[in-house]
Structure 1
């Protein structure tokens, strides 16, 4: 097995562990055990856990960016684009450990900067493009400030990770995110958009 393969396997295994258990709860020993290799092997490729976290976060966010771009190209209109994104993020948040973002912000500044970069330059930009498209298509209202709404939506995602506001023992992290998404979309939709949302909800009820 090549060195490149080993490095990629380490990142993949570490990412899965971080995703499931949170970053602080995963030790270098855990990553080594997951791959049945020694910690010494890991240190041949990475200087420390901080580097692994940073690369893992960048890899994850880049995959998200590529997914979003691909789905936007496939969507027939802004609302279809939104429904595709909702289905994706349902799977995304179902398996995400709620402590992950808090761990990044408080203990891994380099990885946190990577997250902020993608949040501002990729995800907010994509959201703004979607809102402009929805306005042109008559699905979203044209009487709100797009920049303000985009910033609010970005903060909603981050806000759901705040355990002081939403203690994990009292709230379902997945449900918080879905409630936020629905609240946001309903707030900017026209009657046409609202009808599309209602039809989507009905289709989801039938599935369950």
Structure 2
């Protein structure tokens, strides 16, 4: 039952927002009593925390699986972006923004975990790209990885990127291209252009 509650709550939080969904909404949606929910979770904050960390681990595992495929580093970043956006429901309700506003302690913990995972993944990606000659040989790997993380997290800030400006999918596509064009070699640019052109078809 706990797994069912977590799955349903995560779905509702992503589609409607952390603030909007109440414990009453969840019990009504599932056709169970609030007492059943509270048998597994102390309160809504505990539920939000477990949903957030559960989704984080699910996405991290998926990213690890993509990295294990040994794809071209440029293609790998596009696959990771596609996978993350699919599981975050394209962030229709800006859950990261709501998490930061209403559950700052959970947000801080999540961001640190995201940084650790993404730093490791992106550093590995950059080094592989440099070895293959599709990323420039003179890159400061740690700097590029940190700048990439900073950019990705900034896209979720609605004060910088209001929802009516561009969708999260459009923002991520534009940012990923922006990031890659700054680090690719001419050989890598050909790979990037092929990927972009095939995505447009």
Give the TM-score of the pair, scaled to structure 1: 0.89
- Corresponding residue to 2:151 among 147, 156, 159: 156
Residue 72 of structure 1 deviates from its aligned partner by: 1.1
Q: What is the aligned partner in structure 2 of residue 197 from structure 1?
A: 192
1:19 aligns with 2:14: yes
Count of aligned pairs: 201
Once the two structures are superposed, what CA deviation does each residue of 1:36-68 show, in whole Å capped at 9, x if it has no partner?
Answer: 111121111111111111111111111111111
Residue of structure 2 equivalent to 1:126: 121
Secondary structure at the residue paired with 2:15?
A: helix
**Alpha-carbon distance, 1:98 to partner:** 4.4
Kindly tell me: are residues 156 and 110 of structure 1, through their superposed partners in 2, closer, same or farther at Cα, counting changes over 3 Å? same
How far the C-alpha of 1:172 sits from its partner, in A, is 1.9
Paired residue for 2:36, among 20, 33, 41?
A: 41
User: 2:112: which partner in 1?
Assistant: 117
Decide whether aligned partners of structure 1 residues 173 and 120 sit closer, same or farther in structure 2, where only a CA change above 3 A counts. Answer: closer
> Which whole-Å CA distance do the structure 2 matches of 1:59 and 1:90 have between them?
16
Correspondence 1:105 to 2:115: no
User: Aligned partners of 1:54 and 1:94: how far apart in 2?
Assistant: 19
Give the TM-score normalised by structure 2: 0.92
Which 4+ stretches in 1 moved above 6 angstroms?
Answer: none
Secondary structure of 2:123 counterpart:
helix
The yes-or-no answer on 1:176 pairing with 2:144 is no
- Pairwise CA RMSD of aligned residues? 1.7
The alpha-carbon deviation at position 185 of structure 1 amounts to 1.1
How far apart, in 2, do the equivalents of 1:86 and 1:194 lie?
19
1: CA distance, partners of 2:39 / 2:3: 13
Cα-to-partner distance string for 1:104-133 (whole Å, 9 max, x where unaligned): 112213421331232222111111111111
Where do 1:23-102 residues align within 5 Å? 23-92=18-87, 94-102=89-97
Q: Is the 8 A contact 1:58 1:114 kept in 2?
A: no
| Range moving further from structure 2, 167-176 or 126-135 | 167-176
Q: Distance in 2 between matches of 1:94 and 1:59?
A: 15
Where in structure 2 are there 5+ consecutive unaligned residues?
A: none
